[in-house]
Structure 1
Amino acid sequence: MFIQQAYKGDNAAWKVIITTILTLAIFIANIFYVLFGDIDTEQMMDKVSNTIDNTNFLFFLNLSPFVFLLLLLFGLVVYLHERSLVSLTTARNKIDLKRVAFSFGLVFIVGIASFMVEYYLYPGMVVFNFKPMSFIVLVCISLLLFPFQIGFEEYLFRGYFMQQIGVVVKNRWFPLIATSVMFGLMHLANPEVAEMGGITMIFYIGTGLFLGIITLMDDGLELALGFHFANNFLAATLVTADYSALQTDSLFKYASQESDVSFYQILIPIMIVYPILLLVFAKKYKWRNWKEKLAGRVPSIEETTVEVYTE
């Protein structure tokens, strides 16, 4: 049902190409610049930090372009593709904000619990970094701008691309894999990739795969939006590192300036945390028929009448 929502709009190839180019151009250029340009990511970050000595202002500058990008994507979907934002979000008759809230709350609790366990096992790994006024401003910026940042990524990859690729190839497994890889590649220019190596791409692609699975199983973006918001909010406000893409005055900071993240630390969320979250979501929302939902065929527009459903 979710992928078939694309049939509610005009999917002319030239419109898809224009939307893709306009929404991805800045990221593709950034990746090429990092991969083929003669630059040092760490030196570039240090230069920016020295030029702009206010972490909250720098954080604001990093997130603010996503306001334009999300509004651009929405405008292209509504006016170019002539379809509603509800159809881009969910197969239900309206966006289920309770699902967003439940996912956010669950991931927030799991994230805090995971950090407490890590802090107990490795107490010297992080240091307390609380700066009251700066932290309050950080929280406000996060609550204001993260919805645009995570909204753009989810609506573009799990929404627009998932649906457009699905109605072309007429199956579900290929758009699931393709959008997960695309999501990972979009983070290729992140400084932590340069610091920790290609191993981090396992995490990004694995996370994209997890978000794609819950989108297809639930026939909507709501759970993915809640997860992504909670994850990024905690990454910015709870604990950060000098090599992270998010340079903030968080509550805690990793003591070492060098990354010593192991292969197993990358695998823990993918192999343990994400499956647990899947089980919780599946139990709560009574997911069934996993094989068909994740790998089944997508009927053509002539074979089906696209409808919405309620729960």
Structure 2
Amino acid sequence: KLSPPLPLPPLPPKPIPKPRPLPPPSFLSAVHQGNNDWWRYLMAVGLIGSVFFVLTAALSTLALGLGWISLAPDGSVTIRDPLVSYLLSHLPFGFLGLGLWWAVVGLHHRPCRTLIRACGSLRWGRMAQGAAIWLALIISPLAVALLLNPGSLMPQVDWNQWLRLLGLAMVLTPMQIAVEELFFRGYLLQASGLLTQKPWILCLVNGILFMIVHLDNPETGYGLGWLALYYAGFGIFTTWITLRDQGLELALGMHAANNGFVILLVSYGDAVVETPALFSATSFDAAGVVLAFAVRALGFCALFFGIPGLRRDSVPPLQPQGSASEKPPGS
């Protein structure tokens, strides 16, 4: 009598593959989280400009009434205390930031944090990396230049004034660079992405706009053509790294390091804000500023996007998306 064959054991179930994580949304896509009617942008520009100019005029009137500034018969303004000059030049950025927040939240109905990244989060470490690398790229060649020419910097240490400046700079300089970056590389860049997705056009347009608003800086007296090229290059570079890194953090970090260096460590005559920094530059070479900036920008890009150890694999290549010598001027 034949016994029936034993049944074969069931095959183990095939493992269900884990879904691949979706790539983070592109920086330019953040604009679609809000309303983008043309009239909203028209109203936003009017709102931001009105808040900025009205409150800045009120601040100037208050400073004149308090005796912080004096007005000559020919209309020229004199500010004797460099700390007052620094305060009056940076406080208006708070007004600009207020107008920007009002426009983004009240008119476009989207969170302000989407001006930094489309997902709304902030990479603090990325911002710190940008600041540290840019500061190192400024200080390293400057140290070599000092060894070769010790007279290029003159110490002007006044610890009482400098510590007061440090207290103000820890608040006002981050506010100033944050508002500038949020407005130019955040709001305007994302709005421009509604018209074109071509990176080179976005970089060029943003760089030109950034240059235009800085042409009245007094340091352009050292060479308008060279300084115009510097400001345009600064805007183009920060736009490029923002698109390349899909976020505003690197631009925020390097801009903070750039301006912090000029305000706290090395100042120069006819700067947009003359501060009691630790050192004063004895000369200002406009062509050297442009050359030094170009070298720093190339080094910055190589460190963040050209070395495998530091390159972020999740960052896609930059492409269109479908649906003073060694002393940089302040920006």
Taking structure 1 as the reference length, the TM-score comes to 0.82
Task: Please point out which of 204, 207, 228 is paired with 1:180.
Answer: 207
Question: Does 2:24 correspond to 1:15?
Answer: no
* SS at structure 2 position matched to 1:168: coil
Q: Which runs of 4+ in 1 moved over 3 A?
A: 21-27, 287-290
Question: Does 2:161 correspond to 1:134?
Answer: yes
Task: Please point out which of 311, 315, 318 is paired with 1:285.
Answer: 311
Between the aligned partners of 1:264 and 1:58, the Cα distance in structure 2 is 27
Task: Please point out which of 264, 269, 276 is paired with 2:293.
Answer: 269
Q: What corresponds to 2:23 in structure 1?
A: none
* SS at structure 2 position matched to 1:124: helix
Task: Please point out which of 168, 171, 174 is paired with 1:144.
Answer: 171
Between the aligned partners of 2:244 and 2:237, the Cα distance in structure 1 is 11
Deviations along 1:68-97, one digit per CA (max 9) or x if unpaired, are 111220121011100112211113451111
Task: Please point out which of 204, 207, 226 is paired with 2:231.
Answer: 204
Between the aligned partners of 2:139 and 2:85, the Cα distance in structure 1 is 25
- The offset of 1:4, in angstroms, is 1.1
Q: What corresponds to 1:244 in structure 2?
A: 271
Q: CA RMSD in A?
A: 2.4
- Closer, same or farther in 2 for the Cα pair 1:12/1:269, shift >3 Å? same
* SS at structure 2 position matched to 1:127: strand
Between the aligned partners of 1:155 and 1:191, the Cα distance in structure 2 is 24
Q: What corresponds to 1:162 in structure 2?
A: 189
Between the aligned partners of 1:175 and 1:4, the Cα distance in structure 2 is 14
Between the aligned partners of 1:262 and 1:285, the Cα distance in structure 2 is 32
Instruction: Say if 1:158 and 1:211, in contact at 8 Å, map to a contact too.
Output: yes
* SS at structure 1 position matched to 2:195: helix
Between the aligned partners of 1:61 and 1:124, the Cα distance in structure 2 is 32
- The offset of 1:289, in angstroms, is 4.9
Deviations along 1:248-270, one digit per CA (max 9) or x if unpaired, are 000101235xx4x1524422221
Identify which of structures 1 and 2 has the higher relative contact order when contacts are C-alpha pairs closer than 8 Å and 6+ apart.
Answer: 1
For structure 1, the residue ranges without an aligned partner over 5 or more in a row are: 28-42, 301-311
* SS at structure 2 position matched to 1:98: helix
- The offset of 1:196, in angstroms, is 2.5
Task: Please point out which of 208, 212, 222 is paired with 1:195.
Answer: 222
Question: Does 2:124 correspond to 1:97?
Answer: yes
For structure 2, the residue ranges without an aligned partner over 5 or more in a row are: 1-25, 54-71, 324-331
Between the aligned partners of 1:265 and 1:226, the Cα distance in structure 2 is 20
Letter in 1 for 2:280: K
Give me the identity figure in percent.
29
- Aligned positions, number: 275
Taking structure 2 as the reference length, the TM-score comes to 0.77
- The offset of 1:8, in angstroms, is 0.5
Task: Please point out which of 20, 27, 31 is paired with 1:2.
Answer: 27
| Matched ranges for 1:226-245 at <5 A | 226-245=253-272
Q: Which structure: larger Rg?
A: 2
| Matched ranges for 1:112-131 at <5 A | 112-131=139-158
- Closer, same or farther in 2 for the Cα pair 1:12/1:196, shift >3 Å? same
Instruction: Say if 1:166 and 1:174, in contact at 8 Å, map to a contact too.
Output: no
- The offset of 1:109, in angstroms, is 2.4
